[in-house]
Structure 1
Amino acid sequence: MIRVKSTLAVLGAATLLGASGLAQAGATLDAVKSKGFVQCGVSDGLPGFSYTDAKGEYKGIDVDICRAVAAAVFGDASKVKYSPLTAKERFTALQSGEVDMLSRNTTWTSSRDAAMGLNFTGVTYYDGQGFLVNKAVGVSSAKELDGATVC
């Protein structure tokens, strides 16, 4: 019986937390609609993701996501303004309301999800790291590079 009560308590808390997140999202959406545009935090100078072209216009996949949100909210992809943010500025800008959303290189972690109270959407870019060596060197594992100079 205690286990059932504990389970119900956890489920109830999760439901309340979820509902508060929806209420917060609704308030943000209402504020965005009221001002008539989406204020989108982006990186600057990250080709392919978010950068300004020779005409000073923002381009890249992160910018396209901002435009897609504006199109979904307003039926007009141009109803967006961009705020270039550094990695240090991004979360403060989001939490303070300076921007309505971030569309930039930001990893999704449990601490950012929970402790910072952020709502993440689906992952839009997967990356990885590796080593490339000349086949003639005969290396088959990164462990074999112990002591080697890597540039």
Structure 2
Amino acid sequence: MKKILLSAVSAAAALSFSQAALAGAVLDKVKKDGVVVCGVNTAAPGFSNADSQGKWTGLDVDYCRALAAAVLGDATKVKFVPLSSPQRFSALQAGEIDVLARNTTWNLTRDASLGAVFVGTIYYDGQGF
């Protein structure tokens, strides 16, 4: 029983360290560049939307600003990159953006195959079957 428990604790520790290692390179880049590059949706008012003067508003935009404030100490140090659904994961994988803050369903396939680190959910919605 102790061996099983020790194995489980070891596996959990290894996974937690691997997640931190994945985020480390992006965090280092953000600190070096002094800006959080945030991928957002342009077709979801209330989540991310630019007005006629280019001022971004919405829940996802606020998340990016909060992230910039937490990491860089300045909520204005964020660059918004509009992305369509087909572009979002390739932009993230290519390092064109640091964070993907747009409507994206977190599922097992994406969690296991994209190499992305999903963080806590900030918005729940319903789905019909």
Mind listing any 5+ residue stretches in structure 1 that lack a counterpart?
131-151
- After TM superposition, where is structure 1 displaced by more than 6 Å over at least 4 residues in a row? none
Q: Which among 71, 75, 90 is matched to residue 88 of structure 2? A: 90
Query: Is 1:123 matched with 2:121?
Result: yes
Bigger Rg, structure 1 or 2: 1
Residues 54-111 of structure 1: per-residue CA shift (max 9 Å, x gap): 2122111100100000011111111000111111111111111110001100011122
The 1:21/1:129 distance shift into structure 2, 3 A limit, reads: closer
Measure the CA separation in 1 of the matches of 2:73 and 2:9: 37
Map 1:6-45 → 2, pairs under 5 A? 8-45=6-43
Normalising by structure 2, we get a TM-score of 0.88
C-alpha RMSD over aligned residues: 1.8
Match of 1:135 in 2: none
Structure 1 counterpart of 2:25, one-letter code: A
- Which protein, 1 or 2, shows the higher relative CO under an 8 Å CA cutoff with sep ≥ 6? 2
Measure the CA separation in 2 of the matches of 1:10 and 1:113: 21
Given that residues 45 and 52 in structure 1 are in contact (C-alpha distance below 8 angstroms), is that contact kept between their aligned partners in structure 2?
no
Identity of aligned residues (%): 55
Aligned residues: 128
Residues 86-142 of structure 1: per-residue CA shift (max 9 Å, x gap): 111111111111100011000111221222222112211121257xxxxxxxxxxxx
Given that residues 40 and 66 in structure 1 are in contact (C-alpha distance below 8 angstroms), is that contact kept between their aligned partners in structure 2?
yes
Normalising by structure 1, we get a TM-score of 0.76
Larger CA deviation: 83-92 vs 10-19: 10-19
Map 1:123-142 → 2, pairs under 5 A? 123-129=121-127
SS of match in other structure, 1:88: helix
Match of 1:142 in 2: none
SS of match in other structure, 2:117: coil
